[in-house]
Copies of this chain bind each other. A is one copy, B any other.
Amino acid sequence: MSAHPLALTAAAQDLLFREARTANSFTAEQVTDEQVRAVYDLVKYGPTAFNQSPLRITLVRSPEARARLVDHMAEGNRAKTAAAPLVAILSADNEFQEELPQLLPHYPQARDHHFAERPVREESALLNATLQAAYFIVGVRAAGLAAGPMTGMDFDGIRKEFLDDDHTPLMVVTIGRPGENAWFPRSPRLAYDQVVTTV
């Protein structure tokens, strides 16, 4: 074995993981639709079960919509949600099976054989959209931007205001270039032996 078993370059490791941080403040630079398209065009390839691709993204751009969203955030997250260049609501589409014939052309029967029941779809959409939420966070970093994923808000209120019964909100993500004092010192991570066991 090489002493450096990763194929990914050190610069890319830093960009995506080692130096990337959850930002709490941003510069005024806008995040364009072109940038979001480039992120999506990359992370859409991340794997999901049956290629179901249930993640949906709501970009909250208008000042009126931003104000409505801020009202549903936890108090400690309101100021940064109001100030971020862009904010996205990530949700899971519980009716993703309607797109399966497009997404899985070699097995279009998957829609009816595996996902005829809504509770099954909800569980699968939650898992797979959450995987895609992580790919999206990595993709925002791949664009040289910082992401600030947040949970702990009034999810029911966000669902009623911005989504519908078929979409389950997962998190809200601020996006932009990190500003001054954008983050706390890096917190420790668990040691390998606290996480990995072998049987």
Contacts and interface: CB of A to CB of B under 8 A. Distances in A.
Interface of A: 1, 4-9, 11-13, 15-18, 20, 22, 32-47, 49, 51, 53, 55-62, 65, 99, 102-106, 124, 126-127, 130-135, 137-138, 142-144, 147, 149, 151-152, 162, 170-171, 184, 186-190, 192, 194-199
Contact of A192 (B32, B40, B60, B149): B40
Contact of A105 (B8, B32, B188): B188
Contact of A9 (B6, B12, B61, B124): B12
A142 B199 contact: no
Contacts of A131: 130-131, 133-134, 137
Contacts of A11: 9
Contacts of A170: 127
Contacts of A59: 196-199
Copies of this chain: 2
Contact of A17 (B20, B46, B49): B46
B65 A199 contact: yes
Contacts of A5: 32, 34-35, 38, 143
B106 A8 contact: no
23 contacts: A1-B35, A5-B35, A7-B15, A7-B143, A17-B45, A18-B45, A36-B196, A44-B189, A46-B138, A49-B152, A59-B196, A60-B199, A61-B198, A99-B194, A105-B188, A106-B187, A127-B130, A127-B170, A130-B131, A131-B133, A131-B134, A132-B134, A138-B138
A179 to B, nearest CB: 18
4 closest residue pairs by CB, A with B: A134-B134, A7-B144, A8-B142, A130-B130
Contacts of A56: 195-197
